[in-house]
Amino acid sequence: MIVMLFSTILTADVYITIKEQRSAFYDGGRSFPAEDSIREQWIGEDKIAAIVDNLHFIFDLKENGMIMINRSKEFYVETPLPLDMSKLLDEQFYARVLMFQTQGTVKKTEETRKIGKWDCRKYEIETWIEFEGGRVNETIRQVWVTTDVPFNLEKFKRTNANAYKLNNYGEELILALKEMKGYQILSETTTYSRGDERKSSQEVIEILEKEPPEEIYSIPEGFTKKEKLSQQDFS
């Protein structure tokens, strides 16, 4: 029994469930209803997986590579790490991405709070996109982070920098975000766009240690490989 128990502990990964809530909003002549969704993360010794809607990301820390899988369109793409968006996106999409990079500032506060079972510290993050001499998509975010997690935070932060690039964050903003001391437990966001105010939040519901399913770090059978991605591939 002792041998079996020890073996189970060694093979366990960290599983994180994140609840995302988005308020209703109006944009481009259309009304969008409020929406709730669940995001998942798996953190292993050498691999990290994230599932966001129909997109599945696998970061291989040992081989220094990333796989992005579109489960609804049944394709995948592979690219080396650290992430170079020019190698991941087609020429037209990459040129557009460079035009609309997100800039911002990160401020550490002295405010602390217990959220669930985690002791957290508050950071204030402001982001925007510079367009035609002004700022658009201005966002104010209150982020609460903790260092009380059962995985290597520094290793996770190095991987997460690549996720920031997928969100089209500028290099200065990425460097500032990497200085945050902890893992995000709660994020409350207000975005101002075209005169409209949108609110959203992301909150960690649970952090567990358990054995991952076999398919979580692998490409589904029968999926088609693409060399580069277009804008439509992210939908």
Mean pLDDT of the region 3-18:
65
pLDDT of residue 33: 87
Neighbour tally for 149: CB within 10 Å:
18
C-alpha span between 162 and 119 (Å, rounded):
26
Please enumerate, as own/partner, the contacts of 106-112 that have beta carbons within 8 Å and a separation of 24 or more: 106/173, 106/176, 106/177, 106/179, 106/180, 108/179, 108/180, 108/181
pLDDT band for position 11 (50/70/90)?
Answer: low
Lookup: tokens for 176: 């500032």
The yes-or-no verdict on residue 4 having pLDDT over 60 is no
Lookup: tokens for 100: 């609309």
Q: Is the dihedral of CA 137, 146, 41, 32 positive or negative?
A: negative
Mean pLDDT of the region 128-154:
94
Asked whether the beta carbons of 168 and 95 are under 8 A apart, the reply is: no
Lookup: tokens for 168: 């089209």
Examine residue 150 and say whether the peptide bond preceding it is cis (omega within 30 degrees of 0). no
Q: Is the dihedral of CA 198, 204, 205, 210 positive or negative?
A: positive
- Residues 35-55 have pLDDT tens digits of 999 999 999 999 999 999 999
Enclosing H/E stretch for 129: strand 118-131
- Residues 83-117 have pLDDT tens digits of 999 999 999 999 999 999 999 999 999 999 999 99
The yes-or-no verdict on residue 27 having pLDDT over 80 is no
What pTM does this model have?
Answer: 0.89
